Structure 1
Amino acid sequence: MKKIYVKIYFITETERRMGMNKLGLFLFMTILMMIWGFNVSAIKILVSSFPPITITAIRILVAGFFVFLMLGVIGKVRRPNRKEFQYIIYGGLFNITAHHFFLAHGLMETTGANGGLILGSGPVLTAILSAIIIKTMPSRMQIIGFIFGIIGVSFIVVIGNGGLSGFSFGDIYIFLSILSQAFSFILISKAAKTIDSRLLTGYMLVFGGIILAIIGLISEPLAFTNLLDAPSSLWILFLASAILATAIGQMGYNYAISKIGPAEAAIFLNLNTFFALVGSALFLGEQITVYHWVGLVFIIPGVLLGSGAIESLLRKRRTEKMKPIKEKNVANK
């Protein structure tokens, strides 16, 4: 009896600690999504105050070097092989260079609210590209999610801006930004089979940042002289964006995927869109209209359905319900 009691106590105590750890991780993810959402406003302020490409390149490089510093401390840095290096090049071009190039230009010509909402369609675009490129066909639930996502983004960009006459090229740039990032996720999923995703992120940040810096030197030759005149408050915002949002944020999100799974982690990306709206109202003084909220109502279920998060959770719940039945049948035999 004593042995059985000790065993039951051990299992109960283990489950209790795991639950507390999971609760702490959920709290961390919520805070991370708030940082990422508010970072949309931070980037808009930075690209409006500095030469956009140059400041974006410096921010990415600072984030990349910070990632390598953290990985070096825990002994996770190594040289990639030839195949991994190819993924770093292509991933860096799409995930870093193209994504941040279009994001910087887009936020100069559109509102932070629109930018945040269009970025919120990323998981749906990733699911669509997965179906096209790696032949992962969407389910009925995902197709419904795609439709909801398209309606939500269209509602914000077209109706929310006063019809087609109010359509902004900045909105197109933001869409190209998230499209290039969504495509890079396909490459990253293949590369992560042989290389630590955190190390892959560091290499891509440095490589993509160097390419952006070269583009900045060509398109903004006097940029570095303008940087010296910036007030200290902008540099504090710059460091917060580079270290908290880009470096630590990306590594933290990858850690969450390894602990709770990609589907469960994807659910939190909906909070990113919500906090981007809140941030644009708090920090940029932008007006959040009823059209933005209606678009958000469509985007949230679109992401949940289109990313497959709901289906994954339903399957997990059905599996957990079947466990006691299976164990009972085995015991009876």
Structure 2
Amino acid sequence: MTVSKSKIYSLLLFVMLLWGMNVIATKILVTSFMPVTMTAFRIFTAGCIVFLILGFLKAVRLPKGKEWFYIFIGSLFNVVGHHYFLSVGLTKTSATNTGLILGMAPLLTAILAMLFLKDKATVLKVVGVLLGFFGVSFVILGNGESLHHISSGDIDIFLSILSQSVSFITIKKASKTIDPRLMTGYMLIFGSALLFVISLIIEPSGLSSMTRGSIAAWSLFLLSALLATAFGHMIYNYSVGKIGAAEASIFINFNPFFALIGSLLFLGETIVWKQLLGFIFIILGVTLGSGAYEELMRRFARKRHVYMK
């Protein structure tokens, strides 16, 4: 079944709302449970949900040949790397900073697409890359500290989004032979198993922490697993396979916006002017660096050409 771009865009926008709010949910969850252990259980739950949905759609099959390699790489970066650094980082930095740094995803994806998918590097893209990193420097230095006192949590969040961007390139390559939704299910299951092993090593009391959560915390856990992780990753990875990593990643521009709104409404966090200025530079950088501006100009030129005919 062919899905129109407008429907994919609408779904991506909804996923960004889920992911932005999930930053807030994860910030709350890591105060109730040990972060890596909780993340392993949450992702495993999401993986089971994905396979239930795919089973209903009769879209489950065993991977073949090189697909196993792509699933393994995707599990390492999309699940282990991304979610490990995200959960650990949120114990050491604010949800506001997290949301803003996560907005770097389109820029990092565009850079990797130039390197590995042979996307063309233009002057505007290079300028966008520089603006984006300049913006992030304002965000992580928003507390007025020097470069030597950057929060380790901010660095963790940056590594989290870098890992996810690498995985988007892998998913795009793998989508030629395997349904990205099915790949998502396998990545979530395998990645959660790896995270669980890591949690046993670095969080000896992690399992016991999972028995102390309140009903509200467990409700938030299930909502995060079902909506943000299972549904969100299925739809996003499916979109990457359909419209490409760089184009899909443009929508992550909305992620920091929703995370900022959530941090203000639910966590009572404040935003300083340096963070706002950094956000503006990130948006400008992403718009130019991801190729979104050039694509918009090309579409405008095509429409103008048709109109003048």
TM over 0.5: yes
Displacement of 1:31 after TM fit? 3.2
Residue in 1 aligned with 2:53? 70
Pick aligned residue for 1:94 from 54, 67, 77: 77
Cα distance between partner residues in 1 of 2:66 and 2:9? 35
Q: CA RMSD in A?
A: 2.3
Number of aligned residue pairs: give it. 307
**Does the CA-based 8 Å contact 2:247-2:292 persist in structure 1?**
yes
Displacement of 1:190 after TM fit? 0.9
Sort the Cα spacing of 1:130 and 1:267 in 2 relative to 1 into closer, same or farther, 3 A: closer
Residue in 2 aligned with 1:45? 28
Cα distance between partner residues in 2 of 1:55 and 1:262? 29
**Does the CA-based 8 Å contact 2:21-2:258 persist in structure 1?**
yes
Residue in 2 aligned with 1:278? 261
Residue in 2 aligned with 1:176? 159
SS at match of 1:212: helix
Sort the Cα spacing of 1:223 and 1:264 in 2 relative to 1 into closer, same or farther, 3 A: closer
Displacement of 1:165 after TM fit? 5.3
- Structure 1, unpaired ranges of 5+: 1-17, 329-333
Pick aligned residue for 2:290 from 273, 284, 307: 307
Cα distance between partner residues in 2 of 1:118 and 1:71? 32
Q: Mean alpha-carbon deviation: is it higher for 72-81 or for 130-139?
A: 130-139
Residue in 2 aligned with 1:296? 279
SS at match of 2:69: helix
Amino acid aligned to 2:182: L
SS at match of 2:163: helix
Cα distance between partner residues in 1 of 2:86 and 2:63? 28
Displacement of 1:233 after TM fit? 0.1
Matching of residue 229 in structure 1 with residue 225 in structure 2: no
Pick aligned residue for 1:117 from 88, 95, 100: 100
Residue in 2 aligned with 1:10? none
Cα distance between partner residues in 1 of 2:288 and 2:177? 30
**Does the CA-based 8 Å contact 2:172-2:245 persist in structure 1?**
no
Identity of aligned residues (%): 50
Cα distance between partner residues in 2 of 1:25 and 1:89? 26
Map 1:146-295 → 2, pairs under 5 A: 146-164=129-147, 166-256=149-239, 265-295=248-278
Amino acid aligned to 1:174: I
Cα distance between partner residues in 2 of 1:255 and 1:89? 18
Residue in 2 aligned with 1:34? 17
Displacement of 1:316 after TM fit? 2.6
Cα distance between partner residues in 2 of 1:323 and 1:70? 43
Using structure 2 for the length normalisation, give the TM-score. Answer: 0.91
Amino acid aligned to 2:47: G
Q: Mean alpha-carbon deviation: is it higher for 47-56 or for 124-133?
A: 124-133
Displacement of 1:106 after TM fit? 0.9
1:106-133: CA deviation from partner (whole Å, max 9, x where unpaired): 1111111111111110111111122233
Sort the Cα spacing of 1:263 and 1:82 in 2 relative to 1 into closer, same or farther, 3 A: closer
- Structure 2, unpaired ranges of 5+: none
Map 1:122-133 → 2, pairs under 5 A: 122-133=105-116
Q: Mean alpha-carbon deviation: is it higher for 275-284 or for 157-166?
A: 157-166
1:21-71: CA deviation from partner (whole Å, max 9, x where unpaired): 94x765544333222111111111112221111000011111111111111
Amino acid aligned to 1:319: R
The structure with more helix, counted as a fraction of residues: 1
Cα distance between partner residues in 2 of 1:86 and 1:260? 22
SS at match of 2:24: helix
**Does the CA-based 8 Å contact 1:142-1:306 persist in structure 2?**
yes
Amino acid aligned to 1:301: L
Sort the Cα spacing of 1:137 and 1:261 in 2 relative to 1 into closer, same or farther, 3 A: closer
Cα distance between partner residues in 2 of 1:179 and 1:259? 22
Matching of residue 141 in structure 1 with residue 121 in structure 2: no
Displacement of 1:294 after TM fit? 0.9
Sort the Cα spacing of 1:40 and 1:220 in 2 relative to 1 into closer, same or farther, 3 A: same
1:148-177: CA deviation from partner (whole Å, max 9, x where unpaired): 101110011124443335411111111111
Displacement of 1:208 after TM fit? 0.5
Q: Mean alpha-carbon deviation: is it higher for 158-167 or for 228-237?
A: 158-167
SS at match of 1:77: coil
Using structure 1 for the length normalisation, give the TM-score. Answer: 0.85
1:191-237: CA deviation from partner (whole Å, max 9, x where unpaired): 11110111111111111111001111222233222211211000111
SS at match of 2:261: helix
Cα distance between partner residues in 2 of 1:32 and 1:134? 25
